[in-house]
Copies of this chain bind each other. A is one copy, B any other.
Amino acid sequence: MPRKNLVSKEENAADVLPRPTLRTVAAEAGLAVTTVSRALADDPRIAEATRKRVTEVANRQGYVPNRAAQRLRTGRTKVISLLLNTRHEYLSFTSEFLAGMSEGLQGTGYAINITADSLGGDRLDVIRQIRRHSLADAIVFTRTECFDDRVRYLLEHGFPFVSHGRTDFTTPHPFVDFDNEAFVRQAIERLVQKGRQHICIVMPNERYTFGQHLRFGARQAAISCGAQLTIPEGVDLDSEPDEIAATLRALHAGPDAPDGYVCVGEVMALITLAGLNDMGLTPGKEVDLVAKRASPISNHFRPRIETVDEDLRATGRAMAEVLLARIDGRPMEEMQVLLKPNGPFSISG
């Protein structure tokens, strides 16, 4: 039980100095605390010479404003809450997305706070608490629905947010979205070009706006390409992989089986590949498959598949930028970002 080992050892000189505050800076610069505060905030009332001296002293002392004090005084938190989807997410979405957001917020002083969606309970509760108790300056979330209750609530209360995905509300709001319409069109065109006639889209429920966009894009593309289209029910973001596999199996057992598959995401692709394999079908031979790709691991699916790329890190970065724009009150045009699929096609493997 050598607990003593955990006790901090002799602090070195730099550590033992009192943490610099506005007071210590003001004292050294021979100014009032208020003046220092203003100088560091680039307040126009401060003379240039004073500002310069203050920043110099502040830097020398290694002054960093105390977040808690700022927060208490101003009510602003310098925190951005990311609503984490705590259902199983099997691929890299969260990780890459977070990394992108971190990059985008670098140097702004904003911290990212993970808030788990309340499992079971009303998912608005979490958001209400954030707003009521000023736990964050803005909120970010994913899996946006056509008439998303979170968007509605946040718009109604004028609370800053950025959604990953659009809504069907008439009131415009900040978002970052991937052009799923373009993706699915490209995917279908490619499959038709390879001679496929009956396309199946393995994609999540229509509850999500991006599901609608996919449907719309798919229908358009199917018509213009003269292809048949099947969009099976019972495939959703939170479906058990086995359910999805069963759905595909049932589809194939029917009279009129698809010969081309578009998979929205790598998990869907993996499940589809397994399903096809189990039915004795090989992509590249009897059928073809195009998937949305967000990581290099799909390069290692066998048989190889074709992909269209979505850059999740760039998505995270864009979210951060839009968030800052929203907080700064910049115009709506700068806060609605539609990211294009990366390159028309990249053959994996």
Contact = CB atoms under 8 A, between A and B. Distances in A.
A112 interface: yes
A274 interface: yes
Contacts of A300: 241, 245, 270-271, 273-274
Contact of A171 (B2, B102, B333): B2
A1 B335 CA distance: 12
A331 interface: yes
> Interface size bucket, A side?
35 or more
Interface in A143-185: 155-159, 171-173
Contacts of A245: 300
A35 interface: no
Q: How many monomers of this protein are in the complex?
A: 2
Interface string A297-319: 10111100000000000000000
Interface in A209-252: 240-242, 245
A155 B186 CA distance: 54
A113 interface: yes
A89 interface: yes
Contact of A72 (B66, B96, B133, B173): B66
A297 B90 contact: yes
A67 B15 CA distance: 26
A332 B39 CA distance: 48
A3 B331 contact: yes
A40 interface: no
A94 B94 contact: yes
B96 A95 contact: no
A200 to B, nearest CB: 17
A338 interface: no
Contacts of A45: none
Interface in A254-300: 267, 270-271, 273-274, 277-278, 295-297, 299-300
Nearest to A7: B158
Interface of A: 1-3, 5-9, 15, 19, 64, 66-69, 71-72, 77, 82, 84, 86, 88-96, 98-99, 102-103, 106, 111-116, 132-133, 135, 155-159, 171-173, 240-242, 245, 267, 270-271, 273-274, 277-278, 295-297, 299-302, 331-333
17 contacts: A2-B332, A8-B158, A8-B159, A68-B68, A68-B72, A69-B72, A86-B99, A86-B102, A88-B296, A89-B95, A94-B94, A94-B98, A98-B114, A102-B116, A240-B296, A241-B297, A273-B302
